[in-house]
Amino acid sequence: MRFIDEFRDSSLAGALARRIARLAEGSPEITLMEVCGTHTVTVFKHGIKDLIPDNVKLLAGPGCPVCVTPTHYIDKAIAYARLEGVIVATFGDLFRVPGSSSSLEEERAKGGDVRIVYSPLDALRLAQQSRDKMVIFLGVGFETTAPLVAVSIMEAKRRGIRNYYVLCAHKVMPPPMEALVSDGELRIDGFLCPGHVSTIIGWGAYRFLSQKYHIPCVVAGFEPLDVLEGIWMLLRQIRNGTVQVDNQYRRAVREEGNPKALSLMRDVFEMADSEWRGMGVIPGSGLTISDKYRDYDAETSMEVAVEPLYSPPGCICGSVLRGVKSPLNCPLFRKVCTPESPVGACMVSSEGTCSIYYKYSDQI
């Protein structure tokens, strides 16, 4: 397929692998974090780790939106799904994430009305078609999803649809990256910055990381050659001692990002502190629905009683999300925690580190 095959070419991949090996030769261990879950998928799905030298470590970061959403949010979504006259609409990834005692999948099997949609606009359509129901869309995701959800809220207002609500847990990416480098728990020598998020926020958004924290950053695409080139560009910065933000994903990402999408987000959302699974509350890392659109905010419009929080013992999702532990360090991995009966969120989402290890890696 055009524009896909070119980025999976084995001879080019081999050439990049040789360049990477030359740059890494003789160097002490280098730890690079791929922030975005989709990058982790590429790394494992294409066997990228086989192509890079042992002293270059790739670490999966907190870039799986479903994984970083705290259990309390899932419990609230479940509580809404149990109410009469409510339809909960969600992207498929969230459907199977375990809450404290149930999941949306279980709730549907018990008779709750939970629908999987591909776009918040599908949820809006659902609201229009089911005027006697309240449709709650689960707004989870980073800057890539938030603009679309913003559009659905603006459209609801414009068309006078009053039975559409968003349970908003949107998050933004740069603050947790800063939290990771500033708390010092982990040594990160470079960030492979998230390509999709960067199409919205622009590569300029990471400049503070290179300037303030002296961390090399490269925005990379999602094909195997993109990731390999991204790694090579990071090693080049490390080798040359230059610290900046490089843009490997030039075919999609500009310095300023997507101004239209950013302005939609600014119109509908406000910056807020937000809780991340495993990382706690990170200042300014979340989005809430602004006062102008508060009628569409599920939380302010509809009170619901949420069950007490229960965290399964032994689950190390939090440490996996911070990159300090690998799923292989988890006593539950593959034994108790599997994609069929997941204990933690990282085993559910296709972008979750545990699920990726389970699916693509034959290490036990």
Q: How far apart are CA 166 and CA 161, in angstroms?
A: 13
Stretch that binds other proteins, among 68-76, 191-199, 239-247, 355-363 (CB under 8 A): 355-363
- The residue assigned the tokens 């999300």 is 321
> What token pair was written down for 334?
């593959």
Residue 339 binds other proteins, judged by CB under 8 A: yes
Q: Using the minimum distance from each CB to other proteins, give the nearer residue, 55 or 350.
A: 350
Q: How far is the CB of 220 from other proteins (least distance, A)?
A: 15
CB 124 within 8 A of CB 157: no
Among 54, 84, 118, 313, binds other proteins (CB under 8 A): 118
Q: Using the minimum distance from each CB to other proteins, give the nearer residue, 88 or 279.
A: 88
Q: Using the minimum distance from each CB to other proteins, give the nearer residue, 4 or 160.
A: 4
Q: How far is the CB of 303 from other proteins (least distance, A)?
A: 27
Contacting other proteins within 211-230 (CB under 8 A): 224-225, 228
Residue 84 binds other proteins, judged by CB under 8 A: no
What's the burial of 150, exposed, middle or buried (CB within 10 Å: 0-12/13-18/19+)? buried
CB 252 within 8 A of CB 41: no
Q: How far apart are CA 213 and CA 42, in angstroms?
A: 27
Residue 98 binds other proteins, judged by CB under 8 A: yes
Residue 313 binds other proteins, judged by CB under 8 A: no
> What token pair was written down for 268?
């509908």
Stretch that binds other proteins, among 58-66, 139-147, 171-179, 353-361 (CB under 8 A): 353-361
Residue 36 binds other proteins, judged by CB under 8 A: no
Among 10, 184, 305, 335, binds other proteins (CB under 8 A): 10
Detail the DSSP E strand segments found in the chain.
30-36, 56-63, 86-90, 114-116, 134-139, 164-168, 190-193, 217-219, 245-247, 269-276, 280-289
Residue 264 binds other proteins, judged by CB under 8 A: no
108: amino acid identity, one letter = R
Residue 327 binds other proteins, judged by CB under 8 A: no
Stretch that binds other proteins, among 47-55, 182-190, 204-212, 289-297 (CB under 8 A): 47-55
Q: How far apart are CA 231 and CA 224, in angstroms?
A: 11
Number of residues that bind other proteins (CB under 8 A): 40
Among 18, 22, 49, 250, binds other proteins (CB under 8 A): 49
- Closest by CA position to 50, among listed 12, 17, 22: 17
> What token pair was written down for 190?
């470079």
Stretch that binds other proteins, among 4-12, 191-199, 205-213, 250-258 (CB under 8 A): 4-12
Residue 284's SS3 state is strand
CA distances in angstroms from 125 to 88, 105, 149, 161, 295, listed in the order given: 13, 22, 13, 10, 18
Among 30, 51, 168, 320, binds other proteins (CB under 8 A): 51
Which residues contact other proteins by CB under 8 A? 1, 4, 8-10, 13-14, 17, 44-51, 96, 98, 102-103, 105-106, 109-110, 118, 224-225, 228, 338-343, 350, 358-362
